[in-house]
Chains A and B, each alone.
Chain A
Amino acid sequence: MSYPSNMQDSLNLVVASRERRMSETFPRATAEAKDELLKGFHPDYRAETFATLRVGPNSGDRTPRELADLLEADSTLPEVDSLKSNIQNPDHDCDILIIGGGGAGCAAAIMADDAGARVMIATKLRLGDANTMMAQGGIQAADKDNDSPAIHYVDVMGGGHFANTPDLVEALVTDAPEAIGWLEDLGAMFDKNPDGSMKTIHGGGTSRRRMHTARDYTGAEIMRTLRDEVRSRDTIRLLEFSPAVELLTNDKGAVTGAVLLNLNLNRYSVVRAKVVIVATGGSGRLHYQGFPTSNHYGATGDGLVLAYRAGAHLAFIDTMQYHPTGAAYPQQILGQLVTEKVRSIGAQLVNSEGEQFIFPLETRDVVASAIIRECQRGKCVTTPTAVQGVWLDTPMIEIHRGAGSVKRELPAMVRQFGRHGIDITKEPMLVYPTLHYQNGGVEITADCATNVTGLLVAGEASGGVHGRNRLMGNSLLDVVVFGRRAGVVAANQAKERTGDLQLGLAHVERWRRDLQQKGLGSEVKSPLLLPDYTRKAS
């Protein structure tokens, strides 16, 4: 007996209704019904959890309080005067400094290296320690005959509530087939049919089956392939455990490098670069509104802080993605991702009474809102640690697709729950939304350019591609497409940029003056680098 006794009654209702539900399709929600669900239940609409920025390029814009605190914070560096001599003598010189060693950073490094640029990657933890590694469900690309980039485009825009930046969506969908081909050329293995065609499935909000998968290790497969390719190239220099703590600028405000902090040695170093690519990923570890997160330990929004302080404009920072299905039980894996692929291959969401309440492949924001609604109206299960959740009925997959299909398609999920005594081939999972993705970030063009000269941004740290809600399978695509673009553009820019590479912190001095003028204290410092979970019992 893997679930505690207080959850058994509800579990019995799920089992009892399964046969009937197998032939039931819950109707898709109308545009109006979706709107109502979002406004009523999505965390983005809890106005009291947001703050209005008082300083910097986005003054007047709303963002979650936790992010606002860091964006409005002081630099972690000491007085700039005390650093001047150190900064003038860089420890490293390169054409392109890539901050972040995840999917976008590695893709950029490979392309820039191909173009002959001298590349350096500085990353906070190990190379490949990133949300990319944790993505499970798949990567989208319109490469089947019944599909096209234009059809993909419409799906992306609808998923993002038509707020997405059209040029970015065009780049995303147009480059997608090439991205898949490039990954395969690098040796990534996708799930295939015997004739070599890609096995593709639906994701929430897709109108074609264009989700390419690698079991439920899709992100891990892509990340370890890119990481190994980076390691194959001795021309790419790599600094691990060395996050950037501040960008460096010249007297015109253009970015010319960064200050890094070696976390093992607690020692600063200075890098001069002709172009800097920020590929630092998301910010789930800020735990907006107290949500648990599916994100990597290092997802603390550092890149947004650095870029913002150097004058970069942010976009869509008032919207976060809550993945509908984070683990709600057992407590040990609370908030960890239960891939959308579980629903893609046939599992329904079921409330405590054993009834469906939403079409399983609505977009994530809509499904998450529906689950929150079920819990607010009491149609949920409460665990012994007072966590609420609804059921995700995985045994349906086995009935539907045959014995062994869950283990074949979802080995990571089988392991994750199996380690805690839950056999998801026979029993459903209990789930609740978990903080998953930063929909917005630094505003970029299709060339990954920002409003700051010398600064490019790619991947989850950027904003505009996904509008107000990202579709499943478009983040892995995003990091590959825009990582590649950033690498190519940076290599070109580096060739053109010859002078003007003085290293300074005038932007930090100006920032400190601005804080003072606005009466903002300097108690909070950022970037955060790592969350602090010490002496906490959850």
Chain B
Amino acid sequence: MADTNLIDIYIMGERHRVPDSLTILQAFEYAGYKLIRGVGCRGGFCGACATVYRLPGDYHLKFVLACQTRVEPDMQLTMVPFYPANRSTYRLSELKGEAKEVLDLYPEMLRCLGCNTCTKSCPQDIDVLGYVSAIVRGDLAAAADISFDCIMCGLCVSRCPAELVKHNAALLSRRIYGRKLAKKSAHLARRREEVTAGKFMADLAGLKKQSKDEMKKRYAERDIEKGE
């Protein structure tokens, strides 16, 4: 790190001098924090390191993932590693697959004010208000599609003036869609039956008995389906 520039950042109010090449997560560690909370996959998929910051002279709040965001000079930041979020009690297998079930389990969705603060606070740039609206109007296909890239970090929940736990309602919408509403795959149903009936057992028993050389030959000669 020969040509590293050092900058000041403020972690929960405390000043730390860190290389400007670091992510916020790395800057915590550089400063000496050995994290248990606020760290997870370190790759932008788990939502553990939701972070809020402000820059000097700018009243706007910024919402990011600490593992995916580079530090900036004089940023004032805190992680929000946990935010209370009620989860309704249900068993998916006992639901009928109707759109109104999401509203039955999360009736507060109807309190949405349409302020769009959720969308502005999403580090994934998801149209959160868009999927909340879809849930309210009973379009679970749209809710599932719009919310699909949600990593459930909870920042939208923390900012909602109507106190909605959106990410849980979105998860339920996706699960209902995936189980009940998505068109079924005929080939999958067929193959599950064939496996249950033991259709492939003899083929596999034969393959398992093959010597390494026989397998090598078979592998080298296999035909490969064209296309991507």
Contact = CB atoms under 8 A, between A and B. Distances in A.
Contact of A536 (B30, B148, B189): B30
B197 interface: no
Interface centre among B125, B192, B218, B220 (most CB of A within 10 A): B192
A129 B186 CA distance: 34
B218 A154 contact: yes
Contact of B200 (A149, A196, A234, A337): A149
A199 to B, nearest CB: 10
B36 A133 contact: no
Interface in B1-47: 1, 4, 19, 21-23, 26, 29-34, 36-37, 39-46
B225 interface: yes
A232 B125 CA distance: 28
Interface residues of A, number: 93
A151 B45 contact: no
Interface in B41-59: 41-46, 48
Contacts of B216: 31, 158, 162
B195 to A, nearest CB: 6
A502 interface: no
A311 B17 CA distance: 47
A294 interface: yes
B104 interface: no
B46 A129 contact: yes
A412 B44 contact: yes
Contact-residue bracket for chain B: 35 or more
Interface stretch (A74-82, A217-225, A507-515): A217-225
B175 interface: yes
B139 to A, nearest CB: 15
Contacts of B23: 332
Nearest to B23: A332
B23 to A, nearest CB: 5
Interface string B203-223: 110011000100110111011
Contacts of B162: none
Interface stretch (B72-80, B85-93, B108-116, B127-135): B85-93
A150 B203 contact: yes
A263 B36 CA distance: 7
A187 B176 contact: yes
B107 interface: no
B36 A177 contact: no
A198 interface: yes
A195 B187 CA distance: 11
A397 to B, nearest CB: 10
Contact of A153 (B69, B90, B204, B223): B204
A207 B222 contact: yes
Contact of A332 (B22, B144, B151, B227): B22
A241 interface: yes
A35 to B, nearest CB: 11
The 8 lowest CB-CB distance pairs between A and B, nearest first, are A187-B175, A196-B183, A158-B219, A150-B203, A189-B178, A187-B178, A143-B191, A166-B208
Given A149-B203, A331-B21, 9 more contacts: A162-B215, A184-B188, A187-B178, A194-B183, A196-B185, A220-B46, A332-B23, A337-B43, A534-B29
Interface of B: 1, 4, 19, 21-23, 26, 29-34, 36-37, 39-46, 48, 68-70, 87, 89-93, 124-125, 144, 148-149, 151-152, 171-172, 174-179, 182-192, 195-196, 200-201, 203-204, 207-208, 212, 215-216, 218-220, 222-225, 227-228
19 contacts: A126-B48, A142-B191, A143-B192, A153-B204, A154-B222, A158-B216, A174-B200, A187-B174, A196-B185, A198-B185, A202-B227, A207-B225, A217-B149, A232-B90, A332-B69, A411-B149, A415-B124, A533-B34, A536-B30
